[in-house]
């Protein structure tokens, strides 16, 4: 490598570092962290929750998604092992009623039609 190449790359790096330092020390960041006293304060009222826990006895849905680790099924062999299954609700059969599909990792999936 030639000395002009090293000098040019060093100058570029110093320029990039300088731009980062200048933009990091701007006043807008301080205004965001410390809003002025003239700004209005809004009161946010807490609304009722959209969802609540329902027992399986009350809902009638008996489903359990479980994971059993072994030599072939674990986090080290499959990094998404603990991400779990999923829930889908829609009118899948076009009868106007809500249908529910529950998917599991290591258990059979459950389809509930006409909930």
What does the pLDDT profile of the chain (115 residues) look like in tens digits? 577 777 777 887 888 887 777 777 655 544 455 555 555 566 677 788 888 888 889 988 888 888 888 888 888 887 877 887 888 889 988 888 888 888 888 888 777 776 5
Domain that holds residue 101: 62-115
* 73 inside domain: yes
CB count within 10 Å of CB 57 equals 8
Count how many domains the chain has.
Answer: 2
Asked if residues 86 and 104 have their Cβ atoms less than 8 Å apart, the reply is no
* 45 inside domain: no
Residues 69 and 106 placed together within one structural domain of the fold: yes
* 56 inside domain: no
| Block residue for tokens 């570092």 | 17
With b meaning 16 or more CB within 10 Å and e meaning fewer, what string describes 74-83? eeeeeeeeee
Residues 68 and 26 placed together within one structural domain of the fold: no
Q: pTM value?
A: 0.46
């Amino acid at each position: 490598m030639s000395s002009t190449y090293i000098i040019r790359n060093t100058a570029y790096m110093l320029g990039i570092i300088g731009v980062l330092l200048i933009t990091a020390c701007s006043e807008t960041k301080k205004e965001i962290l410390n809003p002025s006293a003239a700004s209005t304060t809004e009161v946010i009222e807490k609304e009722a929750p959209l969802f609540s826990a329902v027992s399986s006895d009350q809902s009638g849905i008996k489903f359990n998604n479980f994971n059993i680790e072994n030599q072939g099924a674990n986090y080290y062999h499959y990094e998404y092992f603990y991400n779990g299954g999923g829930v889908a609700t829609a009118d899948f059969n076009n009868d106007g009623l809500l249908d529910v599909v529950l998917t599991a990792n290591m258990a059979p999936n459950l389809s509930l039609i006409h909930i």
